[in-house]
Structure 1
Amino acid sequence: MVRRPQPAAPSSGAWPAVVVLSMGLLLFVFVAWQYLWDEPRGSDDDLRPRRAVDQTPVVGAPQRIRRFLDSIVPPDSGALPATPPWMWDTPALARFFKGNGAALDNLGDLLEDADWHPAHAAWHAVDLGADPRWPAALALKQAECAYLARLGQEEAAFVAAIDLADLGKRLEEVWAWPSFYSRALEAQERSAQALAELLKKTRLPEETLRQFQRQFSLCQPAADKLVEALNAFYLHEKKLIFGPASGEPLDTMPGGTQLKRPGRLFFKPQATLRLFMEHFRRLKMEAQAPLANVGLISVKDAAAQHQLGYQPNSAGESYCAARMEGYRALPAQLGLARARGGLVVTLFAVRRCIAEQRTLPPTLESLRPRYLLDVPHDPFSASPLHYDIRRGWIWSVGIDLRSQGGAPTSPAMRDPAEPTVEIGVGIAAAVQ
């Protein structure tokens, strides 16, 4: 009888190898899943702008802004001087002002447009706020103020300074690109500086100053506008990540983007978008909180919690951190703009008191209700502004939240740690 060969029994050492191989395969699948899986899209209803898209067929403001910027003639040197225009010598000031007559006319046409249609899709086509000629454009209006003041045309100089504030107010409402908001704050700063310089030496009557005070007050930036702008900026970042897949109208894509954003290694779109949600929600809280409390709501600290490196979404975290750099300072910048605005409004009231009563007010509170309905509070401390009647200074505690007794600068309110305006007269001069 022939015996069939029996199959060899498996070696006892083969089982551990199979187990290790299976565990390795399972680990590989798990790691691959970690890198490839993306989070489900979260709800962002609270981050959507409440302003409806403007359906006007054609708007002209974007083209007028481009025409204005194209007509700017830089100074003879090609670069703006480091000093403010009211410190330039008269020939240089006259050349810059007179050489930009066309630009000033174009800006006048732009400001005469009653409705810029800031919610129109046309603003999304080109990032006009990022144009490098804006500093020269804003300096031009300051130069106009300085030149007219030297000619003795004080009222016209005030009108030019108010035009800057009006320009800032218009740009504050254009949310298509974040750069417009930054330009709005720059225009507000330039306007406040020019008005502080004019008010320090003004001889205008109380009635005229009252009109200018009212016009300037209407142009001040507001926290609720920043909150809505942050919603729009979140939507802007969402479009940059997803393109048309974001579900937004195609004509509102930044720069007219039509294609979906290309994939990137270690970049999870949904997880990255969730990071933007967290940061913009925190920024909205900062924009509405007293600036003395912003240390309790720190977006910068939150961003530091996301470690970079070869993590599943390391590229997304790095991208988000880089993009948020341009947004984190907005609440503090708005606080500075509001502080400057409050200082200038208060300075208007003091100069009106001097023009009418020929004396300095003993306290800022005494300006109510004749010259101020309410005394502006310091947005940094939520307390009244500081007033030194002997020196003739009014100041804010600034970003360091500490009063050092005032710190006049040229241009005025340049020091963010102690924005200060000079009244132009102290108690000693008032007594004489």
Structure 2
Amino acid sequence: MIRPHTPPETPEDKPAHRGEAGGAWSSPWELDLEWLDAPPGKKRRYIEEKKRPAPREPKTVSKPPVETPPPVEVEKVPAAPRQAPPSRLVTKPRPKVAVGREASWSTLAILSMGLLALVFIAWLYVDDQAPGLDKDLLLNRPVDQAVAIQTPDKLRKFLNALVPLENTQLSGKPPWLWDTPTLSRFVQSNATTLENLRDLLEDADWHATHAAWHAADPCENPRWHQVLVLKQAEAAYLSRRMQEEAAFTAAIDLAELGWRLEQIWAWPTCYQRALQAHTLAAQTLADLLRQTKLPEATLRQFQRQFKVCQPTVEVLEGAMNAFYVHEKKLILGPKSGENLDTMPGGVQLHRPGRLFFKPYETLQHFATAFRQMKTEVQTPLAQTAEVRLKEVAASGASYQPNSAGLAYYHERMKTYTSMPAELGKVRARGNLIITLFAVRRCIAEKKSVPANLEQLRTFNFLLDVPVDPYTGAPLQYSLARGLIWSVGNDLKSANGSPTEPPMNDAAEPTVELGIAVAGVAK
């Protein structure tokens, strides 16, 4: 086989590197991964060396041409297609990219935690607990089924007809210390008011449980104090006119008015007015009894009437349920589940907005407080001072989740925490007056004073000797000094301390027998 002669390649014909035109790689450095990652300065030096012209080879002496056989045509094989360098197909991850990804993941985690914390805090402020069970605090007495009643309208007309006292300086003194002309003008100018009150008291049924009492608060009128003083003035005026029995009737009317108001549980202000009426009635009777000349039978009748009107712990315990329902309706409105015609004032009380006020959580504070008060109202110590509520958060923080609800709760409960103590004072005064009635009956019947309070029961002037509500023991009695007294809310006896008006000292309520020298009943 004859091989064709191939002339040697000259430097001009030889390509500088394979891959520039023939498809091979231009430099072995491009196959080096470390070179690819080398700094730019090192790469620049390599490129500059590459651009320098190659040194020329020395020229050789040409030889005479030699005949060569004609070239044999060789079939050209197409060049293989150019492939991407391996270094570009598989690249080494760079540290900068990895650091950036780690930083982005850390930032995302921090933002996620912050978002979760924000959502949790928002949930604390917005979420309210589920309604609690309060069946033990609901009302148990039947609802009045009368279609309509007239008593609330009559009571408003009675208050509007009152003519105020001209001399306001006398309002701080008991009416039996006023001068007779002032008493006469005040009583006679309010003849219509007194007549309306007699009509109200003669009404057989005030319908105390009727829904009509919820339409408006009948006891918030500031004229009520003037009305109670008016009844005291009437009793004092009749006593000076020597109409003693009519004077006692006026004082008993005042006690009956307190008893009527005590039955209206629609508004807590009515219970407060009732305690005021009982206090003024007891003070008026104390003044009348220490100088009375009525017979024993008449005194016995007034004693029974006054005893029937006395407030009791059981009534206040039931009223606490009504007051809880009242607060529930103020907070929840129609959602309280109560009848719509018993909504206080027909509308929901204005209270703070939803933010910082959780209705059901706030209502649970009321439920806990009223349960505590119902328990403590039956203990003597509850009548010595204002009830201190337990397990109730303070309202000092302004931005806690239910700060507005706690502030609302504390403000509203101030109305109720003093009621047991006020009831204790009223009961002490009432028992003193009942005992004083028995003593005056004994003086009218036996013409002498009993040596001790036990004799009053022996002589059938008392069924049972009234006890001191602060101690549960019998009241204190001094024949020599002519005094009957209670130890008061300080639980310490000071041997009686008369005041004007009578029993005005809560630490030592005292009544005088009204005699200078007392003989001992036999």
Pairs within 5 Å for 1:15-414 = 15-77=105-167, 81-257=171-347, 263-291=353-381, 298-300=387-389, 302-303=391-392, 305=394, 307-369=396-458, 370-414=460-504
Q: Distance in 2 between matches of 1:335 and 1:209?
A: 25
| One-letter amino acid of the structure 2 residue matched with residue 179 of structure 1 | T
Q: Kindly indicate whether the alpha-carbon contact (under 8 Å) linking 2:232 and 2:280 is maintained by their aligned counterparts in 1.
A: yes
Q: Distance in 1 between matches of 2:383 and 2:246?
A: 41
Are residues 32 and 80 of structure 1, via their aligned partners in 2, closer, same or farther at CA, if it must alter by over 3 Å? farther
Q: Which moved more, 1:369-378 or 1:321-330?
A: 369-378
Q: Kindly indicate whether the alpha-carbon contact (under 8 Å) linking 1:164 and 1:187 is maintained by their aligned counterparts in 2.
A: yes
Q: Distance in 1 between matches of 2:371 and 2:382?
A: 19
Are residues 260 and 107 of structure 1, via their aligned partners in 2, closer, same or farther at CA, if it must alter by over 3 Å? closer
What TM-score do the two structures reach when normalised by structure 1? 0.95
The alignment yields a C-alpha RMSD, in angstroms, of 2.0
Match of 2:495, SS state, is: coil
Per-residue CA deviation, residues 267-287 of structure 1 (Å, 9 max, x unaligned), is 000000000001111111121
| One-letter amino acid of the structure 1 residue matched with residue 445 of structure 2 | E
Q: Distance in 1 between matches of 2:164 and 2:399?
A: 47
Name which one, 1 or 2, has greater alpha-carbon Rg: 2
1:112 deviates by 0.6
Q: Percent identity?
A: 56
Match of 1:394, SS state, is: strand
Aligned residues: 429
Match of 1:288, SS state, is: coil
| One-letter amino acid of the structure 2 residue matched with residue 414 of structure 1 | N
1:197 deviates by 0.4
Q: Distance in 1 between matches of 2:449 and 2:393?
A: 50
Q: Distance in 1 between matches of 2:178 and 2:510?
A: 22
1:247 deviates by 1.1
1:130 deviates by 0.6
1:288 deviates by 1.5
Match of 1:118, SS state, is: coil
Q: Kindly indicate whether the alpha-carbon contact (under 8 Å) linking 1:250 and 1:258 is maintained by their aligned counterparts in 2.
A: no
1:263 deviates by 3.1
Q: Whose helix fraction is larger, Structure 1's or Structure 2's?
A: 1
Per-residue CA deviation, residues 334-363 of structure 1 (Å, 9 max, x unaligned), is 111111110000000000011111111111
Match of 2:515, SS state, is: coil
What TM-score do the two structures reach when normalised by structure 2? 0.79
Q: Distance in 2 between matches of 1:83 and 1:425?
A: 24
1:16 deviates by 3.1
Match of 2:172, SS state, is: coil
Asked which structure has the greater RCO (Cα within 8 Å, sep 6+), the reply is 1
User: What 5-or-longer segments of structure 1 have no aligned partner?
Assistant: none
1:386 deviates by 0.6
Match of 1:209, SS state, is: helix
Are residues 119 and 341 of structure 1, via their aligned partners in 2, closer, same or farther at CA, if it must alter by over 3 Å? same
Q: Distance in 1 between matches of 2:349 and 2:187?
A: 45
| Runs of 4+ more than 4 Å apart | 4-7, 258-262, 292-295, 301-307
Q: Kindly indicate whether the alpha-carbon contact (under 8 Å) linking 2:234 and 2:247 is maintained by their aligned counterparts in 1.
A: yes
1:399 deviates by 1.2
1:298 deviates by 4.3
Are residues 66 and 298 of structure 1, via their aligned partners in 2, closer, same or farther at CA, if it must alter by over 3 Å? closer
Q: Kindly indicate whether the alpha-carbon contact (under 8 Å) linking 1:339 and 1:396 is maintained by their aligned counterparts in 2.
A: yes
Per-residue CA deviation, residues 18-54 of structure 1 (Å, 9 max, x unaligned), is 3222221111111111111101000010111111221
1:81 deviates by 2.1
User: What 5-or-longer segments of structure 2 have no aligned partner?
Assistant: 1-83
Q: Distance in 2 between matches of 1:140 and 1:260?
A: 35
Q: Kindly indicate whether the alpha-carbon contact (under 8 Å) linking 1:74 and 1:80 is maintained by their aligned counterparts in 2.
A: no
